[in-house]
Amino acid sequence: MQKGSKRESVSKRGESGSDKNLAPDFGMIKNTLKNFGTNLIYVFVTMGTVYLFMLFAILLFAGSTLQNLSDTLSGIIETVGASIEQSSASVEEFLAYAFGKINWDGNFLQTIARILDTKWISETVKGFFDTLSMSTEGFDAQINAILTNFSNKLSVDLGIAVSLVALGVWISNSATRYVLRRRTAKRGIKNFLLAHTLVPFVQSIVVFVAGILFAFIQWFAILVLVAAVALWAIISLMNAYIIFRDKNVPLTPKDVITSRNVVSLILVGLIIFAIDIVLCVGLWYLNPILCVLIIIPVFIYSLNIIDLGSDSFVLGLINILKCD
CA distance 49 to 95: 57
Region of 257 (left: φ > 0; alpha: ψ -120 to 50; beta: rest) is beta
Assign residue 15 a region (left: φ > 0; alpha: ψ between -120 and 50; beta: otherwise): left
The parent domain of residue 307 ranges over: 3-44+189-321
Rounded to a whole number of angstroms, the distance between the first and last alpha carbons of the chain is 9
Is the distance from CB of 304 to CB of 49 less than 8 angstroms?
no
Q: What's the rounded Cα separation, in Å, for the pair 195 and 202?
A: 11
pLDDT at residue 324, as a whole number: 45
Q: How far apart are CA 67 and CA 161, in angstroms?
A: 15
Tell me whether residue 107 is exposed, middle or buried, using C-beta atoms within 10 angstroms of its C-beta: 0 to 12, 13 to 18, 19 or more.
Answer: exposed
DSSP secondary structure of 291-302: HHHHHHHHHHHH
**What one-character-per-residue DSSP string does 139-165 give?**
HHHHHHHHHHHHHHHHHHHHHHHHHHH
From first to last of its 324 residues, the chain has per-residue pLDDT tens of: 444 555 555 555 544 444 456 666 777 888 888 888 888 888 888 888 889 999 999 999 888 888 888 888 888 778 777 776 666 777 677 777 777 777 766 676 677 776 677 777 777 777 777 776 666 666 667 778 888 888 888 888 988 988 888 888 888 887 887 788 775 555 455 666 666 566 666 666 666 666 666 666 666 666 767 777 788 788 888 878 877 777 777 777 788 888 888 888 888 888 988 998 999 899 898 888 888 888 888 988 888 888 788 888 888 787 777 654
Q: What integer pLDDT is reported at residue 212 of this predicted model?
A: 67
Alpha carbon distances (Å) from 287 to 218, 281, 290, 291, 298: 32, 10, 5, 6, 16
Taking the CB of residue 166, how many other CB atoms lie within 10 A of it? 12
CA distances in angstroms from 281 to 77, 286, 297, listed in the order given: 48, 9, 15
- Whether the CB-CB separation of 197 and 223 falls below 8 Å is answered with no
The answer to whether residue 196 is domain-embedded is: yes
**Residue 90 located in a structural domain:** no
Residue 314: inside a domain, yes or no?
A: yes
Q: What is the DSSP string of 305-322?
A: HHHHHHHHHHHHHHHHHS
Q: What is the pLDDT of residue 221?
A: 64
pLDDT at 230: 81
| pLDDT value at residue 28 | 81
Counting other chains too, the contacts that 287-295 makes at CB distance below 8 Å and 24 or more residues apart are 293/51, 294/47
Q: Does 265 map to a domain?
A: yes
Answer whether residue 117 is part of any domain.
Answer: no
Q: How many domains does the chain have?
A: 1
- How far is it, in rounded angstroms, from Cα 192 to Cα 132? 66
Give the pLDDT of residue 16: 43
Measured CA distances, 285 to 22, 125, 297 (Å): 39, 44, 19
How many CB atoms lie under 10 A from the CB of residue 249?
18
Asked if the structure places residue 33 within a domain, the reply is yes
| Coil, helix or strand at residue 208 | helix
| Reported pTM | 0.66
Is 157 a member of any domain?
no
Asked if residue 124 is part of any domain, the answer here is no
In order, the DSSP letters of 71-122 are HHHHHHHHHHHHHHHHTHHHHHHHHHHHHHTS-TTS-HHHHHHHHT-HHHHH
